[in-house]
Structure 1
Amino acid sequence: MTDERHSLDSPVDALTRLFFILGSPVAHVRAPVVWSALFKRYGVNALMLPADVTVSNFGAAMTGLKAIENVDGAIFTMPHKFAAMDHAEMLTQRAQRIGSINLLRRLPDGAWEGDNVDGAGFLAGLHADGVTLKGANVYLHGCGGVGRCIGWTLEMEDIASLTVHDADEERERELARSIARVSSARIAAGIPSMTDIDIAINASPVGLKAGDGLPFSVDALPPHAVVADVIMEPLTTALLQSAHSRGLKVHHGRNMMNHAMPIAASFFGFPASFDWNGAILQKY
C-alpha cells in the first residue's frame, strides 16, 4: 500500500498517521502546510490537518478525535488551549505550571499527555533574533493561553521586570500574582510607563483581523526597544508596522511557530535529526 502511495504520488494511504490543529478560526494557521510538507520531505507517512471547531463543539470534537485509532496527536490554537487541559490524562511539568496546553500526544499505552511549548518557541525565536532578555523590562499585553505561556517562560529568564496586562482584569491580576510568588523579577499588573520598557510583546489577538486597532501604542517606547507580536498572519501587523515606522526593532509572530516546531516534533516523537526549523521555513 505504501508503494502504491508513492507510485501515485498520493499524500495518504490506509496507514497514514493523523495530526490535527484545532482552533476557531483556523484559516490563518500555517501548521497544516508546513508540517505536512516536512512529513513528506522526510518520508513520514503522516498529515497535519486543520479542524475549525467552535467552543461549543470542542468537547464533542475531542471525544471523536481521540477515538480515531490512527490519530497520534493534536495542536491547539485560540480559543482552545485552556479547555484542552480537560482532555489530557497526563501533563508535563511545564504544562502544569502554565495551566494550558497547545500539544496533545497519544502515548504507547493509549493515554494522552499534554504540553505547552509556545513560550519555549517564543523564547528560542527571540534568542535567534539577537534579542537580549538579561536585565530587560518587559511588557506583556495579553494573558490568555499564549500570554500565560510566554509570561511563565519569561519568569525563568534573568529579566529585571515583567508587567502584564489583559482586557480581563482578573486574569491579568491572577497571572501577575502567580508569577510573583516564584519570580525574583519585579512583577506588576496593569499598563506600565512605556518609556521604561525594553521589550513590548503583543500576546493578544488584536491585530489578527483587518481594521483592528493597535493593542498598545509604541510612541513612548525608547529607541532601543523591541516590539514583538505573536500573530502569524498578517506577517507585519499594524503594531509591527507602527513600530517599524518609528525605527524600532520588530519581531514577527512566525518566529514563535518556527522555533517551537523542533520542540513540538520532539514531543511527538520525531527524530531530532529532522530539520524542522530549516532555512526554508524562514522564507514563509
Structure 2
Amino acid sequence: MSRPYAEVIGDPIAHSKSPVIHGYWLEKLGLEADYRKCHVTPGGLADYITSRRTDPEWRGCNITMPHKQAVIPFLDRLEIGAELVSAVNTVTRRHNGALIGTNTDVEGFLEPLRDELAREHYFRMARIIGTGGAARAIAAGLAEHGFTLVLAARNPEKARVLLDEIDPDGEHHVAPLDHFATPTNFAFDDREGCLDLIVNASPLGMEDQPPLAFDFSHAPPGSIVYDIVTHPLDTPLLQGARAEGMRTIDGHAMLIGQAAIAFERFFGQKPPREDGDEDLRRILAQ
C-alpha cells in the first residue's frame, strides 16, 4: 500500500543525512509517511520533476548540490526567500498542483544565532568562505541582520556579483580564497559590543575535498566560528577555533534547523524537538 513520502535529491546523494532526520521525526510522531533519498543527475533533473508532478503520494523534496539553482526553471513559483537568494533547497506541491520553491537554509543557518541576533551591537561582521547555493542563503540572511560581509572565493568577481545581487546597497567586501590562509598582523580594535562570525559555507574541509586553509589571526577575539560541513562533523576549522577559545557551531545545527522547516511543509506537523535535538544528534553521529 502506497503512502505519502518526501525525499532529498542530489548528485551525489549517498552521504545525505536528511532521511535519518526526517525518519526519526516521522517515527517519533507515529506518522504513516516516508522520507527517501533519490540520486538525480543534472541531466535527469527535468525528468525527475516531470515524474513527481503526477505522483499523488509525493509531498515534495529537499534539494542539495548541484541542483539548488538549476531546479528553478522547472518550478511554478518561488517564495520570497528563494527569490532573493536565487537558490532553492525545498520544493513543495500546492493543492492546485503548482510546485513552489522555498529556501529554508536561511532560517536553518540563523537558528543557533538567535540569542546573539536579539541583542544590540555596535558592529556586526561576517567573514564567509564560499559562493555556492548555501553561501548565497547565508550571506543574504546575515546582510538582512545588519552584518557587513567579507566574502572569500576562488573567483572574487563571482563573489562581487553575488553580493550585488543579494544586497546591492550594502558596503560589503570580497577577497580571494587564499586571503585567509596566510597570517595577518592586523590589530583588531576592542571587539566588546561587536558580533564577529567566521563561516565556512563551502565544501572545503569535507571528506574527499581539499582542506580549508584558515589562519586564526584573521579572526577577531570573541568570534563565533560556524562550519556547515557535516562529514566530518568536527572539522579542523572547528578544532582550531576551540583551541583559540572561540565558540563553535557545527554543520548539524543548520542541517537540523532547515530540515525542521521543510518537515512541517511536507507532513503538516512540527517535528518533535523538545530535547534540544540531543537524541537526534546522537543518532546522526553514529
* Cα 1:258–1:77 shift into 2, 3 Å: same
Displacement of 1:56 after TM fit? 2.6
Displacement of 1:281 after TM fit? 2.4
Q: Which residue of 2 aligns with 1:223?
A: 221
Q: Which residue of 2 aligns with 1:260?
A: 258
Q: Which residue of 2 aligns with 1:281?
A: 280
From 8, 22, 26, the counterpart of 2:13? 26
Q: CA–CA distance in 2 between the matches of 1:116 and 1:22?
A: 15
* Cα 1:281–1:252 shift into 2, 3 Å: same
* Cα 1:279–1:157 shift into 2, 3 Å: same
* Structure 1 unpaired stretches of 5+: 1-12
What CA deviation, in whole Å up to 9, does each residue of 1:107-141 have, x standing for no partner? 11111101001011100122368997842211111
* Residue 206 of structure 2 corresponds to residue 201 of structure 1: no
Q: Is the 8 A contact 2:104 2:262 kept in 1?
A: yes
From 113, 118, 126, the counterpart of 1:138? 126
Q: Which residue of 1 aligns with 2:174?
A: 189
Q: CA–CA distance in 2 between the matches of 1:145 and 1:274?
A: 28
* Structure 2 unpaired stretches of 5+: 189-194
1:89-238 maps to which residues of 2 (within 5 A)? 89-127=76-114, 134=121, 135-159=123-147, 161-183=148-170, 186-191=171-176, 198-210=196-208, 212-238=210-236
- After superposition, the CA RMSD in angstroms is 2.6
Displacement of 1:269 after TM fit? 5.2
Q: Is the 8 A contact 1:141 1:215 kept in 2?
A: no
Q: CA–CA distance in 2 between the matches of 1:128 and 1:60?
A: 43
Q: Which residue of 2 aligns with 1:53?
A: 40
> What is the DSSP-based 3-state SS (H/G/I as helix, E as strand, rest coil) of the residue aligned with 1:228?
strand
Q: CA–CA distance in 2 between the matches of 1:250 and 1:266?
A: 28
Q: Which residue of 1 aligns with 2:191?
A: none
| TM, length-normalised to structure 1 | 0.84
Larger relative CO (CA 8 A, sep 6+): 1 or 2?
2
| TM, length-normalised to structure 2 | 0.84
Q: CA–CA distance in 1 between the matches of 2:116 and 2:277?
A: 15
* Cα 1:166–1:66 shift into 2, 3 Å: farther
From 41, 50, 53, the counterpart of 1:63? 50
What CA deviation, in whole Å up to 9, does each residue of 1:3-53 have, x standing for no partner? xxxxxxxxxx32x11111011222222110110121122122211111122
* Cα 1:28–1:217 shift into 2, 3 Å: farther
Q: CA–CA distance in 2 between the matches of 1:237 and 1:132?
A: 29
* Cα 1:58–1:212 shift into 2, 3 Å: same
Q: Is the 8 A contact 1:126 1:251 kept in 2?
A: no
* Cα 1:242–1:210 shift into 2, 3 Å: farther
Displacement of 1:93 after TM fit? 1.0
User: Alignment length, in residue pairs?
Assistant: 268
Q: Is the 8 A contact 1:204 1:215 kept in 2?
A: no
Q: Is the 8 A contact 2:24 2:280 kept in 1?
A: no
Q: Is the 8 A contact 1:18 1:47 kept in 2?
A: yes
Q: Is the 8 A contact 1:202 1:215 kept in 2?
A: no
